[in-house]
Every structure is written in structure tokens, then in C-alpha cells.
Homo-oligomer: A and B are copies of this chain.
Amino acid sequence: MAVNFPSIDPAQLHPVAGVTLGFAEANIRKPNRKDVLVISVDEGATVAGVFTSNRFCAAPVTVCREHLAKAREARGAKGIRALVVNTGNANAGTGEPGLAHARETCDELARLAGIAPEQVLPFSTGVILEPLPIDRLKAGLPAALESRAAAHWYEAAQAIMTTDTLPKAASAQVAIDGHTVTLTGISKGAGMIKPNMATMLGFLAFDAALSQDVLDTLVKDVADRSFNCITIDGDTSTNDSFILIATAKSSLPAITSVATPAYAALRDAVVRLAQTLAQLIVRDGEGATKFMTVQVEGGTNEAECRKIAYAIGHSPLVKTAFYASDPNLGRILAAIGYAGIDDLDVAKIDLYLGDVHVAKAGGRHPAYREEDGQRVMKESEITIRVLLGRGSARATIWTCDLSHEYVSINADYRS
């Protein structure tokens, strides 16, 4: 029951020169499903990532951070050459043995592919606190390597699904300084700063060449405007990871500074694609029936706007009211009030639901009629707009409603 989820045509996902993708059915948790993905990257690419803020981060996240640091030190001499993802098991809350398993995965893939272990980035998503079935994972690697192809982006999106009901992928081509740049990405799960436990993973490759420093800046920039702007249930996973791969195969000259028009053009293209991938996650949010955009404007800074947007986006009472199409909009005011902005003057606040002016100066708008609120609540795409009247900062997040189906999915997830 995803919300206005666009139909994705595998043929419309452009291959990105320098990237091939292969998968396997390794029986990690359940039989007969793609559960291992290998992404191979040609020599000369740069890779950067951002990861969960959860202190209980998964073993593969720790290993990713180590290997990315080593690649950075090596200054291109020994860059990242492969990513390996398993679903069905998060390898989190698994202590030292979990760390050993993540390293063993890299060792085995490196041996098979003829590269060094630190040129491999490992990712896991699934149930926490259970030992990774390392033997089955290793046994699946040859088939995954064997099946690699540049055209396998759609299959790759399928191979990283857990509670997702649909594979998530997007692709674009843009012209920068007269050169065509191709971008393709996949995602799964929900959220990044506030994600669904099913874990958010995002992998996005493009064929432009970027220096490591520029790519490091870009990956944070993009995450903050895309995956860090979504929430489904406010839980931050142990495994969230978002990776950018710059393969350097395009004819566009290498981008070595963020202060260039080429960087700005590329950034905008990557942000657009990442926003699409992030919004696909919300549209396929567990049990989602509504897609909500929460826009908070007129704040003194972006941080307070985000706090208020997230308070609204996380409130189970707001989310259930949207599920019911019930314009019980006082719940939004209440969420604004407890967002933690101590000096907030509620008498300056206006609230819009779609095009309907609901609250003015902190109270119900005299002209507001329940049937107008009701009309907007019945739509499947709804914008909640809050004007704080205290500055010019703004923030936007995307979220979904809370339904019976959400409870069913999460009460049944392991069974």
C-alpha cells in the first residue's frame, strides 16, 4: 500500500560507467530471495559515505569507517573497489564476533576479486542481536561476483530489500559544462537521522570525477538535504549508511573544488536524485497510506525549524489522525508546543494544511471550517505548513502516517 509510488522501469535506470552489480540468493534468513549484493567499482573511482549516529552502530559500519579512512590516507593509490551488502541480519549488537564476521566478509570478497580487504566496504541490514551466518554469506559471494553487470541496478535494488514492499531506484543524466554526467542510485528502508529499524541504505553512483575532499563534502551535503529529512517512526537504525561513488569515467574534467559552477550543478543533480530515493522510502513507509511534507518557516535558525518539523512528523497522535483523515489539527499545535523551543511565542504561529489557513496567531482561524480541513486530510499527498513568525530560516521533512498496518508489520517482522 505504498503512497503514489512511481512505477520504475528497469530499462530507464542508466548504467554508470565503472560500476557493475551482482547478486545472490544466499539463504541468509529466508530461502529463495536475493539477499547478497556486490557492487564492483573500477580503479580510479572515489567513494565517500555517511553513517548512523547510533552509538550501537553495527559491526559493518565500524569496518566501513576504517576502510574509508584507509582509502583516504592512501590518496587514490588503493581506493575502494567493492561494496558487499547482505540483508536478513544486521550484524549489530553482536560484539567482537560480529566485528570479526564483518572483516571475514571483506577478506573473502577481496580474495575472490583479487583486491585488498581494505578496498571492500561491508553493509548489513536485518535483525539485530543475532549472529551473522558468515558461512552462508561467504558461500554466496562467488555467485554474486559471477552475475555482475552494469545493467543490474534494478536487481540490486531488489537484493537490498527487507520490509520494503517495492524496490527503490532512480536515475538521471545531466549536462554539465557540455559533458553528460550519468547518475543512478538505489535505496531501501526508511530514514537516516530518524530512520526505521529496517535500516536505511542508499548507494548512488555517477561517472563524474571528484577529489576525495570534494566527495566527502558532497556526501554530507546531499544526506542533509535528502535522507536526513525523512522520518517514519523516529527510530534511528544501527546500520544506516549512504554511499556516493564517483567513477571518473565521464569526459567532464575532474571537480577538485566546491567553489565551482560544475560542483554546484553536480550537487543539485545528486540532491534531486537522493531526494527522490529518500522520498521513495517514505512512500513505501511501513503501513503508509499518506505522504506528508512538513514545512516549517519563519524560524530563527534551521535547527529549530527541523526540531518542530520532526516533533510533528514523529507524533503518533498526528500520524494516526492523518491515517484517519481526521482534521484533529490541535494535535499539530501540541507537537509544535512540545518541540523544545523554550522561548517560542505561540501567539505568532500560523498553521496551514494544504491551502487551508487553520490557525492564525496561535488560535483557530475565525474563517476555518472543519470541512475544509477534512477535504485536505482526505488527499494522499498533504503539506503541513507552519509559520513561526520569528525569523527567515526554514526546514522541510517528509513523513507518512501511522496505520494499523504499521503495527502489524512490526509485530510480525521476524515471524
Contacts and interface: CB of A to CB of B under 8 A. Distances in A.
A55 B341 contact: yes
**Copies per complex?**
2
Contacts of A402: 316, 407
Given A55-B346, A363-B97, A407-B320, A329 B129 contact: yes
A321 B93 contact: no
A128 B55 contact: no
Interface stretch (A17-25, A134-142, A235-243, A253-261): A235-243
Given A404-B408, A411-B326, A338 B90 contact: no
Contact of A54 (B57, B236, B338, B362): B338
A413 interface: yes
Given A95-B363, A337-B54, A331 B407 contact: no
B128 A330 contact: yes
Contact of A338 (B236, B320, B361, B408): B236
Interface in A357-415: 358-359, 361-364, 402-404, 406-408, 410-415
A398 B96 CA distance: 33
A233 B321 CA distance: 14
* A interface bracket (residues with beta carbon within 8 Å of B): 35 or more
Contacts of A412: 324, 326
Interface string A83-113: 0000000101111111000000000000000
Contact of A362 (B93, B127, B323, B413): B93
A410 B317 contact: yes
B410 A407 contact: no
A333 interface: yes
Chain B CB within 10 Å — which of A337, A341, A364, A406 has the most? A337
Contacts of A97: 363
Contacts of A237: 334
Contact of A55 (B129, B234, B344, B408): B344
12 contacts: A55-B341, A94-B364, A95-B362, A197-B331, A197-B334, A234-B316, A236-B337, A238-B333, A316-B406, A324-B415, A326-B411, A326-B413
